[in-house]
Structure 1
Amino acid sequence: MRMIFVNLPVKSVTASRDFFGALGFTFNEQFCSADTACMVIEENIFAMLLEHHRFKDFVTGDIADAHKTTEVLTCLSASSRAEVDDLLSKALAAGAKPWKPNTDMGPMYGCSFQDLDGHVWELMYMDQAAMAEGAAPQAADA
């Protein structure tokens, strides 16, 4: 069984736990400490939220300032357009900043935001039935 651990530097594990908890995520306490939180995204997918001093134990060089440059895009699937909108609303209410305008490409619909530390999170719904019928994603006319 494969697992994925996305490791992200955060200024405050406490603030990050509060933020992602407000979005409905849970944490695997077995892998949490005062400076580390293991956020459960799915059964085998986790985000390790590591305070800067702890994150530096795993990298060489500087930590990117995600408020100034985009170091990664983390995209999570959603089960519906409504879930995309709901999670975006929760994120903004918990202190996130909008990142790019919502996208509506027919069978694909999504949004994005920056978390408290500037990391970009995308939420995307894909209508699998429409995709199977051959509906290609189309950019909305501006």
Structure 2
Amino acid sequence: METQIFVNVTTTDLDRSKAFYTALGCEINPLFTDENAACIVWNEHIYFMVLTHEHFGGFTDKKLADPRSTAQVILAMSRESREDVDSVLAAGLAAGGSEPREPSDYGFMYSRTMEDPDGNILEFLYMDPVASEEGPAVWESQLP
């Protein structure tokens, strides 16, 4: 079995979060979804467990950060193209997300940052395959 990644994020409104993530093209796995949590399926290896604030608190003895004011992690996911990056941002913004900063364009890599309605930070990026496999220097050496 290949490694699967389950990222746990907190929400103050589970229904709003489910609507937001399905607007991005994700599916919800009903087998692991109830009134406390939703299993958001990105693909066969990556899942977000969106947990109510109270339920999330049951998994740690630490004080919970408020993602609206405190950054704990930035979840970055690759896309197939620059257009895919823009498309997922457009869907997320229409579903209640926000874009806290301008897009970053490094030539070999293009990325945009979005916060979900709870303030959890998502970054979507496209990296040129040459740069991804051989590094930005090789990509730059191939420029005209």
Shift of 1:129: 3.0
CA contact (8 A) 1:99 1:120 kept: no
> What is the CA deviation profile of residues 72-97 of structure 1, one whole-angstrom value per residue up to 9, with x for unaligned ones?
10001000000000111111111111
Question: 1:135 pairs with 107, 116, 139, which one?
Answer: 139
Aligned partner of 1:27: which letter?
A: I
Cα deviation, 1:50-73, whole Å, max 9, x if unaligned, reads 001110110112210111111110
Deviations 1:22-76 (A, max 9, x none): 1111011111111100001121111000001110110112210111111110001
Stretches of structure 2 lacking an aligned partner (at least 5 in a row): none
Contact 1:77 1:125 in 2 (8 A): yes
Normalised to the residue count of structure 1, the TM-score between the two structures is 0.91
Give the partner amino acid of 1:5.
Answer: F
The percent of aligned pairs where both chains have the same amino acid is 35
The corresponding residue for 1:5 is: 6
1:28 corresponds to which letter in structure 2? N
User: In structure 1, what is the Cα distance between the partners aligned to 2:37 and 2:108?
Assistant: 37
- Which 5+ residue runs of structure 1 have no aligned equivalent? 137-142
Q: Does 1:105 align with 2:106?
A: yes
| In structure 2, C-alpha distance between the alignment counterparts of 1:2 and 1:118, rounded to whole Å | 27
- The within-5 A match list for 1:19-30 is 19-30=20-31
Structure 1 residue 126 displacement after superposition: 0.7
Paired residue type of 1:78? R
Which amino acid counterpart does residue 111 of structure 2 have in structure 1? G
- For 2:50, the equivalent position in structure 1 comes to 49
Structure 1 segment 28-67 matched on structure 2, within 5 A:
28-67=29-68
With the length of structure 2 as denominator, give the TM-score of the two structures: 0.89
